[in-house]
Amino acid sequence: MSSLAFRRLTVRYGKRTAITSFDDLVRPGEWLCLIGPNGAGKSSILRAAAGLVVHSGEIEVDGAPLSIRSARRRAELVAYVPQSPELPADMTGAEYVLLGRTPYIGYFGVETDHDRSMVANVLERLDLADLARRHLGTMSGGERQRLVIARALAQEAPIMLLDEPTSALDIGHQQQALELVDRLRHEHGLTVVSAMHDLTLAGLYADRLTLLHEGHVVSTGSAAHVLRAETLSEFYGVNVMVHHDDDGTVVVVPKRAIS
């Protein structure tokens, strides 16, 4: 179990500032979901934590800066599922998921029985065993996205970053993938930070939501606290109805404007 801390994280692309002085502590086993309209800075936070963009401020795992870690050690600590991954068309599903084991494979590059068993287990739990021998170039976008999630799970890192992990999936596979992440979170103390556009799914799975707008935090807390019709109207520019079920589920339903 590991914590992930952001201390005055700032990300700039040229003259444009994507994130300004972002501070947060994601506790071991917690699921934080970043929400907000396009350009709010959600992906920039995840990409900074994955070491993919230059940033100022500090990102720490268990109190130690990630910046002082080697690339291999960083991969052992943090797994990242990008929004639009590039996958080699001539690689099989099993070969691709096995790449998640790279941080643990020795210098001679030979995977162990444990590595292969881990891959087989993840493929089975995500209902992807039939894709193990198929080449990525023959698969649909949804099938490839599920394999990207499988690769991250096979990495066995204590922290998982998910950037729109279900955007290419149908509703059944959305729930299947998120349920598996949530199950592993509870079984192994996985710490999760995700960025999601589906506000109902975000509230359903995350312990805490953080609403971003133009690189700044405007609201953070439970789904019931953040997902308010007036708040969403102000920062998304939409007309919605927010329904609270008896079990605590918060459902966000778009409403058509009345002319």
C-alpha 239/C-alpha 249 separation (Å) is 20
C-alpha 127/C-alpha 108 separation (Å) is 31
Position 259 in a domain: no
Handedness of CA 58, 4, 145, 133 (dihedral sign): positive
Position 116 in a domain: yes
Phi, psi of 24 (to 5 degrees): -165, 155
State the CATH number of the domain containing residue 95.
Answer: 3.40.50.300
Position 216 in a domain: yes
Q: What is the pLDDT of residue 259?
A: 59
Averages of pLDDT over each 10 residues, the chain, 259 residues? 96 96 97 96 96 95 93 91 88 94 76 88 90 94 88 92 88 87 88 96 96 97 95 93 90 82
DSSP, residue by residue, 172-195: HHHHHHHHHHHHHHHHH--EEEEE
Position 44 in a domain: yes
The one-letter code for the residue type at 108 is F
Predicted structure pTM score: 0.90
Position 42 in a domain: yes
Q: What is the pLDDT of residue 177?
A: 84
Number of structural domains (the chain) is: 1
Note down the domain range covering 14: 4-254
